[in-house]
Amino acid sequence: MPQEKNKQISIVKYLPRQPELIHAPYMPEMDFYMAVKAGDVRKVNELCEEPFHAKEGLGLLSASPLQNMKYHLVISAALIARMCIEGGMPMSEAYSISDYYIKAGDAAQDIETVSELHDEMSLSYTSRMRQLSRQKLHSRPVSECIDYILEHLDTRIKMEDLSRNTGLSGAYISRLFKEETGTTVTEYILQRKLETACNMLDFSSYPITWIASTLAFPSESYFCKVFKAEFGISPGKYRKEGAVHLKEDRQYT
């Protein structure tokens, strides 16, 4: 089964920094990241009132203003993801959000869009951290199941797989998973596959048939049916209308 390789944005060489350039103070920057980690939506909203691209002290990483902002978005995404992981967000989820916004930023055509993506990303992480703070921490078996699911979305995940991975019975896993997440294992797998499909529709030109096959749906027709049931729109129309924020409104707010 074909799989799209993950690509990492790596800044290998920096342009010489200008001596007279004023860099953003360390403490205010950390104050922002700590607010995100704490799930403080009000404070993050306040700190995002000044556009990201208008903040003083951003380092010069490229002679191109647009590319410079894209690099800073990548750096922010990496730092925020790490902070949220330290705060209890599952690693797979933190990196999934980060990947989404890095790809969106890479496709941006102007500085303002990159700036808006930065603020949207920050608030998405913050909202999710607030949700996590209101929930009890997942037990180790459920956390292991979630990580396994997110790492194997290109396969038809069976309860036996989760049972073998955790060393626990399928019945026990099913009951525990439902108690802690509020959803069944089957429902959770479908939701994560559909969210991944949205990313692929947003940021790739792969045919819908290929996407359905790569995410191990039984058929293209079944994929289209469940996609429309979840989002109220067909995969083809979703891609055509560029509904890139649809899943975020549902998942991170």
Domain ranges of the chain: 26-134, 140-251
Tokens of residue 25, six digits: 């103070």
Q: Rounded to whole angstroms, what are the CA distances from 140 to 36, 153, 158, 194, 215? A: 25, 20, 19, 25, 26
Indicate the pLDDT class of residue 222, thresholds 50, 70 and 90.
very high
pLDDT tens digits, one per residue of 159-216: 999 999 999 999 999 999 999 888 999 999 999 899 888 878 887 788 999 999 999 9
Tokens of residue 109, six digits: 């055509």
* Helical spans, DSSP H, in the chain: 26-37, 41-47, 65-86, 91-107, 111-134, 140-151, 159-166, 170-181, 185-203, 208-214, 220-231, 235-241, 246-251
Q: How many residues does the chain have?
A: 253
Provide the mean pLDDT of the chain.
Answer: 81
Which residues contact residue 4 at a Cβ distance below 8 angstroms, ignoring those fewer than 6 apart?
200, 204, 206, 214
Q: How far apart are CA 72 and CA 9, in angstroms?
A: 12
pLDDT tens digits, one per residue of 69-124: 999 999 999 999 998 888 888 888 899 999 999 999 999 999 999 999 999 999 99
Inter-residue contact 239 to 215 (CB < 8 Å): no
Residue 235, pLDDT score: 95
Q: How far apart are CA 97 and CA 100, in angstroms?
A: 5
CATH class of the 140-251 domain in this structure: mainly alpha
Q: How far apart are CA 224 and CA 230, in angstroms?
A: 10
One-letter amino acid for residue 84 of the chain? C
pLDDT tens digits, one per residue of 11-53: 223 323 334 443 444 445 777 888 888 888 888 888 888 888 8
Question: What is the b/e burial string over 59-93, where b = at least 16 CB atoms within 10 angstroms of the residue's CB?
Answer: eebeeeeeebbbbbbbebbebbbbbbbebebbebb
